[in-house]
Structure 1
Amino acid sequence: MDSRRLLRTTATALAAAGLILSGCSGGSGAAAPRTAAPAPSFAPEAPKLKKYYEQKLKWRDCGVEGFQCATLRAPLDYAKPDGEEVELAVSRARATGPGKRIGSLLVNPGGPGGSAVGYLQGYAGIGYPAPVRARYDMVAVDPRGVARSAPVECLTGPQMDTYTQVDQTPDDTAEVNALSAAFKDFAAGCEKRSGKVLPHVSTVEAARDMDVLRAVLGDGKLTYVGASYGTFLGATYAELFPDRVGRLVLDGAMDPSLSALDLNRDQTGGFETAFRAFAADCVRKPDCPLGTGSVAAAGEAMKKFFRDVDAKPVPTGEGRELGESLATTGVIAAMYDEGAWPQLREALAQARGGEGSGLLALADSYYERETDGTYANLMFANAAVNCLDLPPAYRDAAAVEKAVPSFEKASPVFGAGLAWAALNCTYWPAPPTGRPHRITAEGAAPILVVGTTRDPATPYHWAQSLADQLSSGTLLTYEGDGHTAYGRGSDCIDTAINTYLLEGTPPADGKRCS
């Protein structure tokens, strides 16, 4: 499992908890209510992009009640705007009223690799607060390389089944070689099936696509809610186009100044924090499968369980057995939302009793594996974007072995596996185009950064760091568990974000909610 910046929430948690994966109103930097669209804008230094900024979308019924779909054209390579094009899937739900329409609200659920169109149609377009949906057209575009937008493809379903079961805590040279070979085969599959698009799915390119969409929609400034990885996408947009920033909510924030190694290690510590919160809750219950002692003892029990299924995988009632890799993925999947903790307790109890189907189901939801054995392209796009955005964490397997102790210090439960997971970009066929750096977005309107104190995937200090980096950043804190904060049941958080989106007024910097 490549957990690095797989910053997303499971579909189960999304449906149950209504997470706004991405995500508090006429301020000076926000799109004002209007009746006529402003003239489209395009970068004056690139006049050949004008044809993209002035294109007309042909909206059509897309078979989901209340939603329209269209196709946005963008250059495959922005350095060659007269070259090949990429087609991007766009969807919208029109503002419902009452009240004057403010403009378009673009949403992104994170990933990288999460389908924004699927998120819009499955939740945001019907589940966002009614006052927000009344005043905004809810809009999503699948980023290039994702889902319906020139998707990156790498492995077949059976190949992916094999890949997800490779031991990611190698005990000897043979297992190290097997894991390295799996990463190499994955990368080779991506190059074979998606070689043309692979060098052009970076976050910078996705942010430039969003600006084309902003202009085509007729909005002078971008209003956006991005969660998890979607916060990096939003911050990148602000860096590229600070004068076009309207109302940006960055929920479950990333820190763009960190290297791939530091991102991995920090996220590993985030999952440890989430596990300790789960364990503290579990040990108070008489049926806790990790015992009823201390949190530390529960951690040792979890590690022993992983060792046991590594040595002897558990049957699941189908062809795949539950080994350590799938078991770890299943546990991590449940860390994203505390609403999944009862399901995790039951699945762990079943697995300790010799039945692994519960943890396998959690792992499958994380990987977006269907019951027919096919996979969405989430994991393919995730690797493709990550490996372009930053130089790889390691030069070779020997570097991982040196790093393992620091990962185990960050998380005694998950450290070794997550250290090795970051080896995948070492073998990537497309060279990285990004680098870690601070994003200040000088001149941008106020940007709302949201952090959750016990977030497993985007540690809270990342939100603190991003809010500090952004010249107009405002930090809103949710004191609680789970990944992201908007729509998770805190009236304080929701009111602050809704007010920002509707009136353009951010909360006081440093405001805390529970």
Structure 2
Amino acid sequence: MAKRVRAISRFGAVAMAISLAGGLVACGTSNKAEQSTTPTRADATPVEATQMPETPKGLEDFYNQDVKWKECDKEYQCATVKAPLDYDNPDGAKVDIALKKLPASSGKPIGTLFLNPGGPGGSGVEFVVAAKLTFSPALLSGFDIVGFDPRGVGDSTSIKCQPDNESGESKETDATANVESGSGSTAEETEKEAADIAAQCERHTRPAELLDHVDTVSVAKDLDMLRALAGDPQLYYLGFSYGTLLGATYAELFPGNVGRLVLDGAADPSISLAKRVEEQALSFEKALETFVATCQEREDCPFSGNVEQGVQEVRNFLDELNDNPLPVNGKDDAPVTSAEVKSMLQNAFYEDGIWPDVFTAFKKAWEGDASKLREMSKLLADQAGGDGDAVQNAIDCKDYPIEGNREEWDKQAEEIKQKAPVFGKGYTDLYCQTWGHHGTKERTEIKAKGAAPILVVGTTGDPATPYHWSEAMAKQLESGVLLTWEGNGHTAYGRSGECVTSTVDDYLLRGNLPENGKVCTG
């Protein structure tokens, strides 16, 4: 299934780096957070709060439920809690919210740090494991780290668009089975795809009404309930990518409950879904230029000429694959397609430490051997798999209203392919209209008036969440403070070095904010 918008998630970058070399350091993604000289938990100080906030009326049973933590996966603890399906009808149906906790290594946490890896549709339960590998010892010592699967996702009450494995139908796992459309869907193809997927999801999701209640506002309300269940008067939170929208939405709804929020790789809350698609596609095109330029600094780079000529070589190669997929030498595997290579490239752009292996794959492909491209494609295959794309689209469609009409969408689709010939996609609003479960509230800036300071982290070469989105979010938030990392790849904390690590840690552990506009390099 083709995604309307590229997933904006931190988990995939961490997972692919681990899968490449069995560890982040070995594959070139240095786990610099673990080398942090940030003081340990000994001098950490909790948020000053005298009492717990008042429980929202009608939600007392949810805010006061018992959380039964059980040991899982040795050093972790797992639990499931209940939330109302519809917050306007809390006495109605309920959904499960799955949690996974890594207890503070010190045994004396100052609070619970909640995580969201992005997506939308990323699993916080799975991300806790990645957090242990990439977060600093100081942070792991100072907090209980808790990830949760948002409603609609993973181990929580989830959107299902295909039968369970027990039914005999297996989920897609092959690198060629779950990639984006190679040439951009037509309007007719988009309508058919959305209608087919909607029918499948409505058939297999229980309760079916879940599809109308996976919006970010509902998840933010779940998050406030989780804060209360953790016993924290105010929220500690670290959100990546889409998780920044969740964090900002929380701050807008519950400004008085904001403790210390870090939003890394921010999205602009005010823009339309179509605009988000366009700007993200342009950002991936820019990442392609950076990728080629980095390669051309090496003696063995397969891309000839200057950067513009090298990029054109990649485009020509992808166009050729549309008509003549490249065989995998010596194997009976399906040939490598343009769609597969595009998806592989996008995944690779999330983590620049793996680029040398991708350069080698292109060098071999230039020689007629696609085996390395297939190898990289499998290693970097979208971590979501299965229903992941449908979940992402379902959440996006609920968060954004339908804007425009068929004539405007045709024009947008043509323009985006001209502006972003490799990664451009169109018909986002048409997809959501056909899908049927879409939002109606107009997108506006999020100001979070009255909230405590919120630290926004932006990476200048981020392909999935362009840097100017972080600038926009920091400016929109009345208490926003911007920290910039000059680097490539998606998000910063845990993969960018001592400057970002110590700055974020100092804020989360002690409440010390950097000067607005601080820049980290290296």
Give the TM-score taking structure 2 as reference length.
0.86
Deviations 1:302-348 (A, max 9, x none): 11111111112234556644322222111111111111212222333
1:54 is matched with: 64
Equivalent-residue separation in structure 1 for 2:451 and 2:414 (angstroms): 41
Deviations 1:198-228 (A, max 9, x none): 1111111111100000001100000000000
Equivalent-residue separation in structure 2 for 1:253 and 1:212 (angstroms): 24
Give the drift of 1:392.
Answer: 4.1
> Aligned pair 1:304/2:316, yes or no?
yes
Residue 106 of structure 2 aligns to a residue whose secondary structure is coil
CA contact (8 A) 1:113 1:382 kept: yes
Give the drift of 1:354.
Answer: 4.4
Give the drift of 1:484.
Answer: 0.5
Specify which of 226, 231, 234 is matched with residue 247 of structure 2.
Answer: 234
Equivalent-residue separation in structure 2 for 1:401 and 1:407 (angstroms): 10
CA contact (8 A) 2:264 2:491 kept: yes
> Aligned pair 1:323/2:331, yes or no?
no
1:372 is matched with: none
Equivalent-residue separation in structure 2 for 1:344 and 1:489 (angstroms): 21
2:259 is matched with: 246
5+ residue gaps, structure 2, are: 163-168
Equivalent-residue separation in structure 1 for 2:159 and 2:32 (angstroms): 26
Pair 93,318 (structure 1): closer, same or farther in 2 beyond 3 Å: farther
Deviations 1:280-316 (A, max 9, x none): 0112323323x23111111111111111111122345
Equivalent-residue separation in structure 1 for 2:261 and 2:181 (angstroms): 40
1:368 is matched with: 383
Amino acid of the structure 2 residue aligned with 1:407: I
Equivalent-residue separation in structure 1 for 2:67 and 2:492 (angstroms): 33
Equivalent-residue separation in structure 2 for 1:510 and 1:313 (angstroms): 47
**Percent identity of paired positions between Structure 1 and Structure 2:** 37
Residue 204 of structure 1 aligns to a residue whose secondary structure is helix
1:411 is matched with: 420
Equivalent-residue separation in structure 2 for 1:166 and 1:382 (angstroms): 14
Amino acid of the structure 1 residue aligned with 2:319: R
The number of aligned residues is: 488
Give the drift of 1:137.
Answer: 0.7
Residue 58 of structure 2 aligns to a residue whose secondary structure is helix
Deviations 1:442-500 (A, max 9, x none): 00000000101111000111011100100100000011111111111321111110100
Give the drift of 1:356.
Answer: 5.3
> Aligned pair 1:277/2:290, yes or no?
yes
CA contact (8 A) 2:78 2:98 kept: yes
Give the drift of 1:159.
Answer: 7.2
Equivalent-residue separation in structure 2 for 1:158 and 1:400 (angstroms): 32
Deviations 1:126-164 (A, max 9, x none): 542111111111111110111111121224656797874
Equivalent-residue separation in structure 1 for 2:381 and 2:179 (angstroms): 14
Deviations 1:358-407 (A, max 9, x none): 347536744227xxxxx3432222111111001246644x5444124532
Amino acid of the structure 2 residue aligned with 1:184: A
Give runs of aligned pairs for residues 452-463 of structure 1, distance below 5 A: 452-463=459-470
Give runs of aligned pairs for residues 365-444 of structure 1, distance below 5 A: 365-368=380-383, 375-392=385-402, 395-396=405-406, 399-408=408-417, 410-415=419-424, 418-419=425-426, 424-444=431-451
* RMSD between aligned residues: 2.8
CA contact (8 A) 1:191 1:429 kept: no
Residue 145 of structure 2 aligns to a residue whose secondary structure is strand
1:77 is matched with: 86
CA contact (8 A) 1:31 1:223 kept: no
CA contact (8 A) 1:261 1:394 kept: no
Bigger CA drift: 419-428 or 452-461?
Answer: 419-428
Equivalent-residue separation in structure 1 for 2:119 and 2:181 (angstroms): 23
Equivalent-residue separation in structure 2 for 1:392 and 1:368 (angstroms): 29
Equivalent-residue separation in structure 2 for 1:497 and 1:39 (angstroms): 25
Give the TM-score taking structure 1 as reference length.
0.87
2:212 is matched with: 199
Equivalent-residue separation in structure 1 for 2:466 and 2:184 (angstroms): 27
Give runs of aligned pairs for residues 477-496 of structure 1, distance below 5 A: 477-496=484-503
Pair 311,401 (structure 1): closer, same or farther in 2 beyond 3 Å: farther
Give the drift of 1:184.
Answer: 2.7
Residue 491 of structure 2 aligns to a residue whose secondary structure is coil
Equivalent-residue separation in structure 2 for 1:424 and 1:349 (angstroms): 37
Deviations 1:55-78 (A, max 9, x none): 11001012x121100011100111
Give the drift of 1:408.
Answer: 4.0
Residue 444 of structure 1 aligns to a residue whose secondary structure is coil
Residue 9 of structure 2 aligns to a residue whose secondary structure is coil
Specify which of 268, 273, 286 is matched with residue 260 of structure 1.
Answer: 273
CA contact (8 A) 1:117 1:142 kept: yes
Amino acid of the structure 2 residue aligned with 1:57: V
Amino acid of the structure 1 residue aligned with 2:232: D
Bigger CA drift: 435-444 or 185-194?
Answer: 185-194
Give the drift of 1:192.
Answer: 1.9
Amino acid of the structure 1 residue aligned with 2:201: C
Residue 458 of structure 1 aligns to a residue whose secondary structure is coil
Specify which of 124, 129, 154 is matched with residue 116 of structure 1.
Answer: 124
Amino acid of the structure 1 residue aligned with 2:284: F
Give the drift of 1:350.
Answer: 3.9
CA contact (8 A) 1:170 1:176 kept: no
Specify which of 219, 232, 236 is matched with residue 223 of structure 1.
Answer: 236
Give the drift of 1:231.
Answer: 0.3
1:13 is matched with: 17
Amino acid of the structure 2 residue aligned with 1:311: D
